[in-house]
Structure 1
Amino acid sequence: MVHRKHNRVDGKGRIVIPVKIRQAMGIEPGSMIEFDYMARRHQLVIRAVTETDQRAHNRET
């Protein structure tokens, strides 16, 4: 399923992730998210970080 929504960036550089997308991704207050910027494509990918991802990251650092 594709969810597409346009939002504006506010004066502090913040964006709002629409509720339907947050629900579909399992993003709740306090959730960790990851940003990947692909300069060549001028594309930003946002991914919800799972607890498993967080534990793996903590072991690496």
Structure 2
Amino acid sequence: MDKLIARINELSRKSKTVGLSETELAERDKLRKQYLEVFKGNFRRQLDSIEFTDEKPRKLH
């Protein structure tokens, strides 16, 4: 994950300074999609691991 983020950041910096080639644009898009999939998977696992301990629903005031 660290290498993925590092490469995304590297491409982002280059995009802001000299621009990206078509190949680099495609790579950036692919890496961003990979990052989002990993993030969503981690978030889903975190949500799935939550255990509810309060049996009665609480009223929100």
TM-score interval (norm. to shorter) = under 0.3
More strand by share: 1
Normalization by structure 1: what TM-score?
Answer: 0.27
Higher-Rg structure is 2
More helix by share: 2
Normalization by structure 2: what TM-score?
Answer: 0.27
